[in-house]
Structure formats: structure tokens, C-alpha cells
Amino acid sequence: MDIAQYEGTVVNINTELSKSSESDRARTIEKYRRIAEKGAMSCPFCNEKLQLRAGEVREIHFAHLKGKSCQEADAYDTYRNQTQRENKKHSVIKEIIYTELKSQEIIKPDLKVEYGYKEKAAEKWKHYPDIYMNKNGREFAISVITNVHNIGDEKVVKTINKRNRYFEEKGLKSIWFVEDRELADDYEHRVLHLWEAEYDLAIKTEEDQIWDQLINDIVDEFPNEKLLDLFHYKAYGPMDVDVRSLYYVHSTGDEISFSVYRLILDEKQSPYRAFAVTRGYRMHMSNALIVRDEILLSDKQREDADRIDFVNEVARKLEQAREVEQAAAKVPELSYKEVAVTALPKAIEVADIDVLEYMEKLNHLRISESEAKTLFKYMKKHRSDLGDYGLSFADVMRTINYALGKIMDPKSEFGWWILNTFGN
């Protein structure tokens, strides 16, 4: 391996050699060789003494004495080889993510975070994730990938694919963070242009499953409509409803932020592309890396708003398509209202809330816009239970409409939607 414990710190022999000029190289090697010979350099993992070897076959490295073996040092070597293609930002980003996740261990007893090669050294894995995470028994392989602009390289594509399959076989769910935004998006055409490797970096999260449900609900509702045609997306072939997400990481100094894209991958052929489900958005690291059942990686409010936008857009497109058809022949009219009402409430998860507390706030106009929205969604979902609270749906809707009129612009998308759905 390239590192050793020496005088209280870890030295990397390659870093030391890069500091010395070509003519001093031999002298530097000799210096560390002698220091190691005197037993002053030890393994950072097992503390056993190390020697410096500068053979012809392998590059210069520290090695345990003959007959000694060390699992963690072997795992470290495997991991080092694996990350050789990455740039300098790789370890910076990895460390920041590790620190953020590790800090949550204290408050979450069922959370474990460790470097991949340390956690799995004893099992002698062939590939290690940068970070290993275990939440309540569910295991995750978190990896950062840099130099994505070279990613078209067939070898890299194979490597990512191999690693994904390996982690899956081991029962780990892969999470990839891609350095910087390599993705070329054309939201106007609802197209994301991708590198081939990005197919394997797109992952499936809980939030993507909620999107699947929404889109499937719309598809069920309108079996004769081709959703992608409505968006004028020219698919290479039939596409299943399988929303996935790509996570890009942007770093400036010690700060990093993430951006989130939701997409449905098209057939894997060049030029590689996907249907853009959302426009994508940025979020701060501390919001993105909150661990619940898995890493959050999304902004719940933003996702709900995106879903409302999506449904509204589908409704608008359907309306337009209908108008075109109606011009040609008489077909039954389909209203905007119908789409939004049937598709949306099923798809948007509604948290349990204290209805009476919210109603109290509502009656006194002390409710916030987001609370009013939550209440609205709750009311729609639990319509039949309202009697238990001595409330009628019509009364509640009237009060919500009244309150929303006071606290938000009725011309906004959401106000508009409520007013159009329920009238006054």
C-alpha cells in the first residue's frame, strides 16, 4: 500500500516522492527505506511494522513483514486501485459526505456509517463502495464518481455496471453521486441527454416510486393516451413507467450541494437519452443527506409541487389534444378538473395530521400556506372520516378556500387548481 503511520501521522509515499525532484527521488526512497528498516513505520490498520519495497514489477509500496498479513491493508489496496481513475475532488467529496452521514450516528442508534473498505475488509470484497451505510438492517453502497466527461469510455461503463451488480448481489442498494453536472438537459423538449454510463448511475429511490404511482395512475385513467406523445417526446421504443433519479454533486471548497433529476430512461442506444420527468433542482447537503429509512436526497415539498405541476401539465396537454380531435370529430368533452381530481390525491402521500388543530388554525386564519395545502390533501383523502370530527366536506372546503384566498394568490397554480376544482 502507499501509506504508513510515521511519527504520529500517516505518510503517503507517492505524495512524498512527488515533492522531491527527479534527482532526489532515489535519495528519498533510500531515506524512507532506512527509516522503515529501523521499525519506525507501521501499518495504520494493524500497527505491525512495515517495510518499503521498490520492486521492478510493482510500484514502490509499503508492505508487511514476511509471513504477516493484514485484511484491512489488502482491502485498502483493492479500494485504491479501484479509485485510481478518480480526480482529486473525489476524496474531498467522499470525506464531506462521510462526515455528514457519520454525524447522524449519535442521534440514530440504528444507523451505521463506515468507509466501505474498512467495513467489508474481513469479507475480502472485490469492489468496495466509498461509504457503507446500514440503516435498521438495510445496507447501502454509496459511491462518488468523478471525471464523468471521460465516462463514455467503454471500460468505465463496464466497471460501473460490474460494481452495481456486485453490490446488489451482496444485498446493498447502490447510491451514486456524480461529480458536477455533466448532464445536458433540454427541458423544453423534455429530454435529458446522457452518457452511456449515466444509465447505470440512475438509481431508484422511494421518491421515484411515488412518481411511478402518480404516472401509473394517470396512465390507468387514460389508457388510450400515450403519455410521452403528449409531451412530444420521441421515444426510441416502448418505455415502461420506471422513474429513476440522478444525483449530481457540486463542490466549492468545503461546501457541496446536490442536484436532483428525475427521468425515465429511453432504450440504451446512442445518442443516449431519457424523458425528463422534472426540471431538476438543487439542494443543500444538510437537507439532502438526512437519513430516515434511506438517505432523503429530495425536498418533499418541492417534489409535491413538481407532481402538481406534472398533473396540471398532463391535463393541459390532454385538453389541447382533445381540442384538436374535437375539431376533426365530435368526441365527449373531457375537463381539466377531472384529471387533476382523479390523479392527484391518490399519488400524493398525506401525512397524518391533527385535524382539529389545523381546523382551529384555519378558523382563525393562522394557518400557513403549506399547512393549508396539507389539510386540503388530508381532507380529500379522508373525506369519509370527516363526520367523526363533526365536520362536513363542503363546509371545510369553503373555509379552506376562504383562508387560501386570504393567505395566497388565487391566481397561483395551486390556488387556481383548488378554485377550478371546487368552485366557490
Query: Site residues (CB under 5 A) for Zn ion?
Result: 43, 45-46, 70, 73
Q: How far is the CB of 57 from Zn ion (least distance, A)?
A: 21
| Choice between 43 and 151, CB closer to Zn ion | 43
Nearest to Zn ion of 73, 283 (CB atom): 73
- Residue with Cβ nearer Zn ion (45 or 378): 45
- Give whichever of 41 and 295 is closer to Zn ion, judged by the CB atom: 41
Q: How far is the CB of 45 from Zn ion (least distance, A)?
A: 4
Nearer to Zn ion, 9 or 18 (CB): 9
For residue 355, what is its C-alpha cell? Answer: 385535524
Nearest to 211 by CA among 262, 251, 166, 255: 262
- In angstroms, what is the minimal distance from the CB of 74 to Zn ion? 9
Residue with cell 438517505: 295
Instruction: Find all residues with CB under 8 Å of 309, minimum gap 6, and list them.
Output: 413
Minimum distance from CB of 29 to Zn ion (Å)?
A: 21
d(CA 75, CA 70): 9
**Radius of gyration (Cα) for the chain, nearest Å?**
28
Grid cell, residue 331, equals 368526441
Distance CA 164, CA 158 (A): 10
| Cβ proximity to Zn ion, 46 vs 203, nearer residue | 46
Report in angstroms how near the CB of residue 73 gets to Zn ion at its nearest. Answer: 4
CB nearer Zn ion, residue 45 or residue 98: 45
Residue nearest to Zn ion (CB): 70
Q: How far apart are CB 44 and Zn ion at their closest, in Å?
A: 8
| Beta carbons of 310 and 339 less than 8 angstroms apart | no
Of 37 and 110, the one with the shorter C-beta distance to Zn ion is: 37
Question: What single-letter amino acid sits at 17?
Answer: L
Give the H or E element holding residue 305: helix 300-328
User: Are 43 and 71 in contact, with CB atoms under 8 Å apart?
Assistant: no
Nearer to Zn ion, 45 or 195 (CB): 45
CB of 72 to Zn ion, least distance (A): 6
DSSP string for 141-207: EEEEE--GGGTTSHHHHHHHHHHHHHHHHTTEEEEEEEES---EEEGGGTEEE--TTHHHH-B--HH
In whole angstroms, how close is the CB of 125 to Zn ion at the nearest point? 17
Closest by CA position to 242, among listed 272, 217, 262: 262
Query: CA–CA separation, 175 vs 319, rounded Å?
Result: 39
Q: What is the nearest approach in angstroms of Zn ion to the Cβ of residue 68?
A: 7
The three cell numbers of residue 108 are 440514530
Beta bridge partners of 259: 248, 282
